[in-house]
Amino acid sequence: MQKIKSFLLKNGPLLATVAIFILVYAIGAQLYPTMKKPQVFFNLFINNGSLLIISIGMTMTVIMGGIDLSVGAMIALTSVASAALLQKNADPVFVMVLMLLMGTALGFVMGCIIHYLKVEAFVVTLMGQFFARGMAYVINESSITIKNEFYNYLALTKINLPFFEKAYVYIPTLAGIVLLIFTFILLSSTRFGRTVYAIGNNEQSALLMGLPVARTKLIVYSFSGFCSALAGIVFSISLLSGYGGYGQSMEMDAIASVVIGGTALTGGTGTVLGTLFGVLINGIIVSILQFNGTLTSWWTRIGVGALTLIFIGIQSLFYVKKKD
Amino acid sequence: MKNNISPFTKFRQSRIFWPLVALLLIFIFDGIYAPGFFKLGILDGHLYGNLIDVINNGAPLVLVAIGMTMVIATGGVDLSVGAVIAISAAMGAVLINPAFGNELISNDILTQNVSRTPLGLIVLANLAAGTACGLWNGFLVSRAKIQPMVATLILMVAGRGIAQLITNGQIMTIYYTPYFFFGNGYILGLPVAVYIVLAVLGLAWLLVRKTSIGLFVESVGINAESTYYSGISEKNVKLLAYTFCGFCSAIAGLILSSYVHSADANNIGLNYELDGILSVVIGGTLMAGGRFSLLASVIGALVIRTFTITMYTVGIPANALLAAKAVLVLIVILLYSEQAHKIINAVFERKGRSKDAKN
C-alpha cells in the first residue's frame, strides 16, 4: 500500500497526463468515429514532429531550471537559411549539418551569457528569439520554396508501419522519436542526466557537491539550440519552404507541452516521456478542432493556455503533498 | 554639509543621466545622417515632424514602460502586455461596431460614423478589460504563487486568442470619428496622447513617491520574505503592481487602436513586451527588482522610439530592426550586469600585473 502510494506520488503528474490523453482521445473517438483509425494517431506524430523535437530540448532546459524562448524563432531562421542556401544549389546534407551547427552555436552563446554573465535565462533567450527572427527576415522577407530532390524525397517517402494496415509515417517523423529515446536514456541513466536534475533542484548545492555546473548548463542550452535547428529542418522538409514567420509562438506550445507532461517549471523533476504525451495532448486538441470544423483556431490557444494552468495547479498540489 | 555636491555631479549620479546620454547620442547621429529629423512644422493648427512622431507614436510604449517598471521593481515581469493591448483594442472595436457579430452586416452599416455604445462607456470598458487582465496576472503571481514569467506567459498566448474571440476572428476597422481623438487628436498643438501619458505618469508618480507604496514595491523587489515579516502584505503589493501594469497596457491599447483606426487581434501591440522590458532596462531598473525610476523608464521608452524612427529614416527595413534591437538590449543588459563589470575589472587587473597571472 505504501509502495503504491509513493509510486502514485512520484509519477502522479505523468499518470495524470497519460490519463487525460486517453480520455480526450476516447471522447474524440466517440464524437468522430473516423478518429478510431490508427492513422489518425500516427498523424499526431507527423503533424507535431517539430513540436516534439523542440519540446524535448525544452524539457531538458526546464528540468535544469532554465527556459529557452528562442526555439520558435530558431525554427524560422533555420527554415529560411536552409531554403536560401538550397536556392543557391548547396549540397542538402551540407546544409543540414551547417544548420545544426548554427543552432548549437547560438544555443551555446546564449548559455554562455546566461551562465557567465548571470543574466536571467528568459531575458537572454527572449533576445535570442528576436535576434533569430530578425535575422530570418534579413535573409529573406518573403517565403522561399525549396525545390531540392533530396528534400522532396525526405518529404514524400512514406514508411509503412508493420503492425497496422495502411498506416505510415514520413522519414522526418522518425527524427523526433529517435531523439526522444536518446534523451530519455541520457536523462535517466547517465551521470550527465543526474547532474541536470541536481542543478534543477538546487544549483548552489550541485556546485558545492563538485558537479560540473558550468559545463552541464552550456551543454543543455547548446542541446536545446541543436533541437530547435533539427526541428527547423523537419519543419522546412514538411512544408518544403522557408519563411521568417514560421513557428510563431511555438515556444509557448513547447512550454505548455512540457508543463502538461508533468515537468515542473521550477526545475528538478520531470521526464521526456511525459513531454511526449504533452505534445500528443496538444495535437489531439488541434485534431478534434479540425474534425469538428466549426470551432476556430483561437480556441486552440485558449484551450492550451487553460490546460497549462490546470497542470500547473495539479503539479503544485502534488509537490505540496510530497513535502508533507 | 561640508562637501556640497554640485548640481552637475548630482545630475550625473542620478538615474536619468545615462538614458539621457543615450538619447543625446541618437540625436547627434540624427543630426549628422538625417538632417530633416528635427524639422518641426505647423499643419492644420498643430505641430508635426519627426519629434512629434516620437512622442505621439511612443505614447503607448511609454505607458507600457511605466506599468512594466512597477512590475519589474517587484522582481517580476509581465510578458502579457501585448496581449492585453490586443484585448483592450478588441473590446473598443466591438463596442463601436454598429452591428452584432452574428448579424448579417452590409458595408454601409459597418462604415457608418456611429457607435453602438457611448464613448465614455467604451473607454471604461477598454480600461476595465485591461485592468481585469492585470488583476488576473496579479492573482496568479501573488495568490497562486506561479512564477511571474509563466503566469504572464499564459495570458500572452491565451490573450490573443481571447482578443480574436471578442472580435470574432476579424480585423475590425473603426469608422467612428470621436474615437480617433485619443490617437490622432491635438490639444494646443500637441497630440492628445501626450496629455494622457502625462496624466498617467503624474498619477503613478504621486502614487509611488507621495505615498509609501513606492517604498513597499522596492522592498518587495529586494526581499519579498523580509517585507512580509515586517508586516507589509507583499501579496497585495504585487497584486497592485500587476493590476497597474494591466491598466497602463489598456490605455496603450486604447491609444493604439484609435491611432490605426482598427483592432487586429494578431498584430496590434506585437513585441510590446520586448520593447517594454527594454525601456525599463535602459532606464536602469534591474531585472531582479528593487530600486526603480519611472522617469528613467519613460526616457528609456523614448530612446527606443527615437532609435526605431531613426532606423526607419536611415532606411533599415522594419523586420531587420528586430535583430538590431535584440543586440541593443543585450549590450545594455551586459553594461548593467555586475558580472560583466567584474570580468572587465578582472581583465584590466590582469593586464596590470600580467607577470603573476597564471590562467
B258-272 pLDDT tens trace: 888 888 887 888 778
A3 located within any domain? no
Report chain A residues touching chain B, CB-CB < 8 A.
67, 113, 116-120, 122-124, 126-131, 133-135, 137-138, 141, 244, 249, 252, 255-256, 259, 265-266, 296-302, 304-306, 308-309, 312-313, 316
Q: Which of A9-13, B34-38, B192-196, B306-310 is modeled with the greatest confidence? A: B192-196
User: What residues have CB less than 8 Å from A226, skipping those under 6 apart?
Assistant: A57, A100, A103, A104, A107
Q: Average pLDDT of B341-347?
A: 73
CB nearest A134 (choices: B149, B277, B319): B319
Q: What is the pLDDT of residue B1?
A: 45
A13 located within any domain? no
B133 located within any domain? yes
Q: What is the pLDDT of residue B251?
A: 93
Determine contact, residues B55/B46, Cβ cutoff 8 Å. no
A206 located within any domain? yes
User: What is the residue range of A187's domain?
Assistant: 19-323
pTM of the entire predicted model: 0.81
| pLDDT above 90 as % of chain B | 18
The amino acid present at B86, given as its one-letter code, is A
Q: Please tell me the distance from the alpha carbon of residue A133 to that of residue B271, in angstroms, as a whole number.
A: 12
A203 located within any domain? yes
CB nearest A137 (choices: B165, B319, B343): B319
State the number of CA atoms in the 13 A half-sphere of A275 facing the CB.
Answer: 33
Asked whether residue B101 carries a pLDDT value surpassing 60, the answer given is: no
Of A307, A279, A282, A225, which is closest to residue A60 (Cα–Cα)?
A225
B119 located within any domain? yes
Task: Return the higher-pLDDT residue of B40 and B236.
Answer: B236
B148 located within any domain? yes
Q: What is the pLDDT of residue B355?
A: 47
Asked whether residue B351 carries a pLDDT value surpassing 70, the answer given is: no
User: Reduced to 3 states, what is the DSSP secondary structure of residue B286?
Assistant: coil
Name the E strands within chain A. Answer: 144-145, 158-160, 168-170, 241-242
In chain A, which residues have their Cβ closer than 8 Å to the Cβ of B154?
Answer: 305, 308-309
- Three cell numbers written together for A209: 557537491
A12 located within any domain? no
User: What is the residue range of B183's domain?
Assistant: 45-337
| Paired residues of B190 in beta bridges | B187
Q: Please tell me the distance from the alpha carbon of residue A177 to that of residue B246, in angstroms, as a whole number.
A: 42
Is the ipTM higher than 0.90? The answer is no
At residue A89, φ and ψ (nearest 5 deg) are 65, 40
B137 located within any domain? yes
B12 located within any domain? no
Q: Tell me the pLDDT of chain A (324 aa) as tens digits.
A: 677 777 766 677 778 788 888 888 888 888 888 777 888 888 888 888 889 999 999 999 999 988 888 898 999 999 999 999 988 888 888 889 999 999 999 999 999 988 888 887 878 888 888 889 888 888 888 888 888 888 888 888 787 777 777 778 888 888 888 999 999 999 888 999 999 999 998 888 888 988 888 899 999 999 999 999 999 999 998 888 888 888 877 888 888 888 888 887 778 888 888 899 989 988 888 888 777 776 666 777 777 778 778 777 776 666 655 544
In chain B, which residues have their Cβ closer than 8 Å to the Cβ of A135?
Answer: 323
B14 located within any domain? no
A14 located within any domain? no
B187 located within any domain? yes
- The number of domains in chain A is 1
Asked whether residue B34 carries a pLDDT value surpassing 80, the answer given is: no
A2 located within any domain? no
| Paired residues of B40 in beta bridges | B49
Burial A163-183, CB ≥16 within 10 A → b, else e: eeeebebbebbebbeebbeeb
Q: Please tell me the distance from the alpha carbon of residue A154 to that of residue A78, in angstroms, as a whole number.
A: 17
Query: CA angle, B331 as apex, B327 and B334 as ends, to 5°?
Result: 135
DSSP β-ladder status, A168-170 and B190-191? unpaired
CA distance A317 to chain B (A): 11
User: What residues have CB less than 8 Å from B114, skipping those under 6 apart?
Assistant: B98, B176
CATH number (domain holding residue B94): 1.10.3470
Q: What is the pLDDT of residue A224?
A: 93
CA distance B320 to chain A (A): 5
- Tell me which chain B residue has its CA closest to the CA of residue A314: B144
- Three cell numbers written together for B119: 464613448
CATH number (domain holding residue A192): 1.10.3470
CB nearest A137 (choices: B156, B320, B327): B320
A235 located within any domain? yes
Q: What is the pLDDT of residue A324?
A: 41
CA distance B47 to chain A (A): 34
Of B32, B17, B34, B20, which is closest to residue B308 (Cα–Cα)?
B34
- The number of domains in chain B is 1
Name the E strands within chain B. Answer: 40-43, 46-49, 172-173, 186-187, 190-191, 262-263
Asked whether residue B107 carries a pLDDT value surpassing 70, the answer given is: no
Q: What is the pLDDT of residue A222?
A: 94
